Structure 1
Amino acid sequence: MRRFEPGETVALRYITRADSTVGMTWPARVVRDDDELVALWIPEGAEYRAWHRPPGEPRRLGPARWRRETLRLMFPGRAHSTWCSWEGPDRAFRMYYVNFEEPFRRTPIGFDTNDHALDIVVWPDFRWEWKDLDEFEALAAQGVFTEPFAAAVRAEAAAVLAELERRSGVFAGEWPRWRPPAGWSVPGLPAGWSEVPPEPWELRTWAYRPHLAPR
């Protein structure tokens, strides 16, 4: 599929583990799309789709507002992305947020992936901490994540922490100074964001036991 041009609006979709349907979805503007990096800008206030569970009802997707300016850095073939975020009128850099996830796949309207629960928060002074480690380990213990897949996610996390220790890759210091081009407006979800068929991950049957996945 074609590459996207800087400034184009795309949909970044999470494809559910349980039944491979479209789940959480964000609108984003493309900053960069090449063999080394896909960078997507999601500004504060962008309307996206998030899961809601009204009392006594099944969960469903509904509109929500993104709370913090985010530049999402995704690497072809890698099982994580790194989110740089800023807050306040002076755009103070808040943190790097490493999200472990399926390698992204291209669609006609953007990119598909899904979250692996595990995250690492890296503060501006490079202190770091796990996020949702208990949830990840519980999914592995319950068999939702297979043993080989859980081991692969842990190995990906170790590789990221090695980059952090070396201050290399996204941690080299350039991204906190990034700014969106003047005139970029808040993007909306492109037409067809929920109708375009999901692009499947070819290793899902190796990684997940869908019948055990929470819905």
Structure 2
Amino acid sequence: MSILPHSTPAAVPEGARPLGVGPFLAPGEQIDWHYRAPGWQPGDPSTISPMRVVRDDERGLVAWLAPGTLQEAQGTVTGARVRSIPLERRWLDSRTRIVEEWWGGGSLRIAPVGAAWSVCLFWKHADDVDWVFDGWYVNLENAHLRTDRDTYSSDHILDVWIGADRTVHLKDEDEVVAAIGQGRLTREQAAQIERHADAAIESFHQGAWPFDPEWVAWRPDPAWTIPVLSGLDELQRS
């Protein structure tokens, strides 16, 4: 399956390399997963999640976001979550850096090499012994670029939810419309993102490895501790 070109650039450190190019991290090591908004500029806030590596090799990156993880997030100037901003100003109002605890149970994230999306697996009770698979959340984004212990992508706003019963539907289409109207995306970029969504859905129907049943049955090593993001103490004091 061909990979469509990126619709927005990701600003990353000099020398960053694509996923699938070593050196690789061993299972259990920490990697910090950076999500940035479309049009991100140096100095803008990011969402940065410290995670445990499950697999890191030529096929891509798989990492575990544990329940209770503290992460750097994008917030409003008053410290509230970005989604509290009314849609008519969602892409106009300033954002700032906040500390946020990952809500709910844990999530397994899978970023295939060269793909303009990652796949997040969710369980209804992933912080307990009774795990019930809820579905796959396909986050449309730039193909990842990474350094030794960080991986970087820019969010494409539109997402795909695939339930455990294999029903498929798009998410956040209203946010894409708002992003176009507020000058964050062009119509051409939005059309490209929709093509990425179609490609991701086709990948699911073809049974590509991020959707393999092995990941639904996967469980984290009980010896793993929750990783800590570098600089978090300073951010909490600010």
Q: Report the TM-score range of the alignment, normalised by the length of the smaller protein.
A: 0.7 to 0.9
SS in 1 for 2:204: helix
Match of 1:61 among 94, 97, 100: 97
Deviation of 1:138 after TM superposition, in Å, equals 3.2
Matched, 1:81 2:118: yes
The superposition leaves residues 141-188 of structure 1 with CA deviations (integer Å, 9 ceiling, x where unpaired) of 554323443232222111111233344433342211011123111111
Give the counterpart letter for 2:32 in structure 1.
A
Give 5+ residue unaligned stretches, structure 2: 1-16, 18-22, 80-92
- The separation in 1 between residues aligned to 2:26 and 2:189, in whole angstroms, is 34
Find the aligned partners of 1:172 and 1:100 in 2 and give their Cα distance. 19
CA–CA distance in structure 1, aligned partners of residues 144 and 180 of structure 2: 22
Indicate whether 1:98 and 2:138 are aligned: yes
Offset from partner CA, 1:6-42 (integer Å, 9 cap, x none): 1111111123424234511101011111111200100
Residues 27 and 48 of structure 1 are in contact (CA less than 8 Å); yes or no, is this contact kept in structure 2? yes
- Could you tell me which amino acid in structure 2 is paired with residue 19 of structure 1? Q
Instruction: Give CA deviations for 1:70-98 in whole Å, capped at 9, x if unaligned.
Output: 01000121110000112322121122100
Given that residues 10 and 190 in structure 1 are in contact (C-alpha distance below 8 angstroms), is that contact kept between their aligned partners in structure 2? no
The residue identity in structure 1 corresponding to 2:109 is R
Q: Check if 1:37 corresponds to 2:60.
A: yes
Conservation of the 8 A alpha-carbon contact between 1:31 and 1:39: yes
Instruction: Report the residue type matching 1:76 in the other structure.
Output: V
TM-score between both structures, scaled by the size of structure 1: 0.80
The question of 1:107 aligning with 2:147 is answered yes
Q: State how far apart, in whole Å, the 2-side matches of 1:18 and 1:106 are.
A: 17
- The structure 1 residue matched to 2:159, chosen from 94, 102, 119, is 119
Please give the residue correspondences for 1:121-160 in structure 2 after superposition, counting only pairs within 5 Å: 121-160=161-200
Question: Which SS does the other structure have where 2:46 is aligned?
Answer: strand
Q: Tell me if the contact between 2:112 and 2:210 (Cα under 8 Å) persists in the aligned partners.
A: no
Aligned partner of 1:151: which letter? A
Counterpart in the other structure of 1:186: 226
| TM superposition outliers: structure 1 runs of 4+ over 4 Å | none
Amino-acid identity (%): 29
Q: Distance in 2 between matches of 1:64 and 1:143?
A: 28
Count residues with an aligned counterpart. Answer: 194
For residues 137 and 28 of structure 2, what CA distance do their matches in structure 1 show? 23
- 1:20 is matched with 42
